[in-house]
Amino acid sequence: MSYDLKGKNAVITGASQGLGLAIARAYVKAGAGVLLCARDAKTLDRVREQLTALAVSGQIVATEAADVSRSADVERVVAKALKTFPRLHVLVNNAGVYGPKGPIEEVNWEEWVQTIEINLLGSVQMCRGLLPHFKKHRYGKIVQLSGGGATSPLPRLSAYAASKAGIVRFAETLAGEVIDYQIDVNAIAPGALNTRLLDEILAAGPKKVGKSFYQSSLKQKKQGGTPLETGAELAVFLGSSASDGITGKLISAVWDPWQKLPGYLRDLKETDVYTLRRIVPKERNLSWDND
């Protein structure tokens, strides 16, 4: 199933490689104009050349080297985006790192804090920068990339796990703040990806990341992982008008029937499905809270 982004413009962070690049490619193929940002300017230049070759006449592929954890860089990205496009419709927050690996008391504290700054605060800053524009035009789509750390503990990857859980709850909270402006905010769980982040885990070894996680990562590497295109297709859907009204959700690209969700808008709005929540004893057939 394909979704049309013709006439729409998007800012995509962390777009120079891996899933970010796959999303950028999918957006260009769907007809969107894009401003791509990442920290490496040379890599971005190569990406711009590749994606410009896929674009049609009048379709803009622009880039801006930036570190989303730096306020001045975010302001520069936002300013260029608003100068490049008369209207912006979508923000895809993809930039992220695993951060330090090991027991919390042993990892480098500066690296731990930097992970929060990139993954969590960088996403928040990008939202802050573009929300006035979205609110002015009473329309927008914010697509936040999540990860395994959002829904389950990741021992020895505490900065990554904490930041990913934080951005999902931020997305849920922001969705409630901007719902009257027809701005949809959702998070994506893209699946187990074979990217540079997986290579980092394997390079760190079982002593730092834990034997169980290392073994599962090794298995994932051998089996191939989830195709990048799976998460990219969901990102296109959430950036398109087909997803209008779907907001405040964490959606799995692999496990959830997201193509069918427009037919269940009422259920999505009236329930807490696809959200972070507390599990109470009765949901596990336990009764001690009634004793």
**Which pLDDT score, from 0 to 100, does residue 1 have?**
59
Confirm whether 160 is a catalytic residue. Answer: yes
Q: In 190-290, at which residue ranges do the beta strands (DSSP E only) sit?
A: 249-252
Q: Which of 3, 27, 98, 160 is catalytic?
A: 160
* Selected residue with higher pLDDT from 154 and 62: 62
- Percent of the chain surpassing pLDDT 90: 76
Which tens digit of pLDDT belongs to each residue from 85-111? 999 999 999 999 989 999 999 999 999
* pLDDT over 90 at 227, yes or no: no
Residue 139 DSSP SS3:
coil
pTM to 2 decimal places = 0.93
DSSP state of 291: -
Which tens digit of pLDDT belongs to each residue from 230-248? 999 999 999 999 999 999 9
Residue 194 — pLDDT band, cuts 50, 70, 90?
Answer: low
**Which pLDDT score, from 0 to 100, does residue 291 have?**
63
Residue 147 DSSP SS3:
coil
How far is the C-alpha of 162 from the C-alpha of 153, rounded, in Å? 9
Q: In 42-182, at which residue ranges do the beta strands (DSSP E only) sit?
A: 61-65, 90-93, 140-145
Buried b vs exposed e over 1-34: b needs ≥16 C-beta within 10 Å? eebebeebbbbbbbbbebbbbbbbbbbbebbbbb
Which tens digit of pLDDT belongs to each residue from 110-169? 999 999 999 999 999 999 999 999 999 999 999 999 977 788 888 999 999 999 999 999
